[in-house]
Amino acid sequence: MLRSLLLGLLLAGGAQASCLIQPPQLQLPSYSALSGTSGTLSIPVRCDTPQDRATVFLTDMAPTGEGDDLTLYLYGIRDQLQLTVVGAGGLRSGLPVKGSQVLHFRLITPRNQWISVGSYTFPATLTLEQSPP
């Protein structure tokens, strides 16, 4: 069972930006190797006006997977836990956004991953680049 999970997402953005990434929210219940689990990753993007445009990237890591899904790993002291982020493939090359919104991605943690109880981290950076008006 996974008792606690630490999502180590670092946020990047310019001081005079018209759009900013707000702290991401991870909702993932305790993990059981017998059944797996699913949850949600929410990435709030706040823009000054509805016309502001930007692109969100997931950087500082090498996500795998094909098509729209990403395969990521959460790292513990001795173990790693595989996690699929459904529909987040666009974060590899940049996901365009317009105006304030919250990006929601389904998380799937497959069963049969026998891991130690403890805290797990996700070392990645979300980067936001402003688009010209």
Is the pLDDT at 20 greater than 90? The verdict is yes
Select from 46, 57, 67 the least CA-distant residue to 96: 57
First to last CA, the chain: 48
**Pair 84, 108: CB distance under 8 Å:** yes
Top-tier CATH class for 9-130: mainly beta
Select from 107, 116, 109 the least CA-distant residue to 35: 109
Task: Count other Cβ atoms within 10 Å, centred on residue 72.
Answer: 22
Residue carrying the six token digits 């797990």: 120
Identity at 17, one-letter amino acid code = A
Parallel, antiparallel, or unpaired for β 9-12 and 124-130? parallel
Select from 71, 96, 64, 101 the least CA-distant residue to 86: 71
Select from 48, 84, 46 the least CA-distant residue to 66: 84
> Could you give the percent of the chain with pLDDT greater than 90?
46
Is the pLDDT at 13 greater than 70? The verdict is no
- What's the confidence (pLDDT) of residue 14? 40
- What's the confidence (pLDDT) of residue 26? 85
pLDDT 10s digits, 49-101: 999 999 999 876 665 666 788 888 889 999 999 989 999 888 888 999 999 99
Q: pTM of this prediction?
A: 0.78
- What's the confidence (pLDDT) of residue 30? 86
Q: What is the mean pLDDT of the chain?
A: 82
Between 120 and 48, the more confident residue is 48
- pLDDT tier, 40 (very low <50, low <70, confident <90, very high otherwise): very high
Task: Count other Cβ atoms within 10 Å, centred on residue 83.
Answer: 23
Q: Sketch the domain layout of the chain as residue ranges.
A: 9-130
Is the pLDDT at 5 greater than 80? The verdict is no
- What are 60's two structure tokens? 């500082």
